[in-house]
């Protein structure tokens, strides 16, 4: 694992240990479900934007196919839909970002044009 990846994971783990009520799997899951239901298009577009930026930062020096933010945008947007791209993640961080986008992205993309929830629950 790359030193930058290790230090990033260590900071995340430290933050989760120091403030489990703020950084917890349950809280992240609840926020994603709530925001995905309340504003599906905003959530999907946020995932594309954040995923593209993070993927670009993770891959720009290690991956010859990622030369611009637009390259990362194409990769992330295809991960949320058909899953085809000529770009593949090379770094551990890039693979983790791709995994998250491929896991949650298609579901978000499928609901992107749904009407936002109006609090009828």
Q: Domain map of the chain by residue range?
A: 3-111
Q: At what angle do helices 92-111 and 69-79 cross, to 10 degrees?
A: 60
Percent of the chain whose pLDDT exceeds 90:
39
Q: Which residues contact 47 (CB under 8 A, 6 or more apart)?
A: 76, 80, 101, 104, 105, 108
pTM of the model: 0.73
Q: Which helix (H) or strand (E) holds 78?
A: helix 69-79
53-105 residue pLDDT tens = 999 999 999 999 999 999 999 999 999 988 778 899 999 999 999 999 998 88
On average, the pLDDT of the chain sits at 81
| 3-111 has CATH 3.30.1330.30 classification | no
Q: Residues 29, 78: contact at Cβ < 8 Å?
A: no
Q: In whole angstroms, give the CA distance from residue 22 to residue 16.
A: 8
């Amino acid at each position: 694992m790359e030193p930058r990846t290790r230090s990033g994971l260590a900071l995340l783990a430290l933050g989760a240990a120091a403030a489990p009520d703020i950084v917890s799997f349950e809280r992240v899951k609840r926020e994603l479900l709530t925001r995905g239901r309340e504003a599906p298009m905003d959530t999907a577009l946020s995932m594309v934007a954040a995923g593209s930026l993070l993927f670009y930062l993770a891959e720009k020096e290690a991956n010859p196919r990622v030369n611009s933010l637009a390259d990362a945008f194409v990769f992330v947007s295809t991960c949320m839909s058909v899953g085809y791209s000529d770009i593949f993640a090379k770094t551990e961080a890039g693979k983790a970002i791709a995994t998250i986008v491929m896991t949650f992205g298609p579901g978000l993309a499928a609901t992107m044009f749904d009407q936002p929830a109006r609090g009828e629950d």
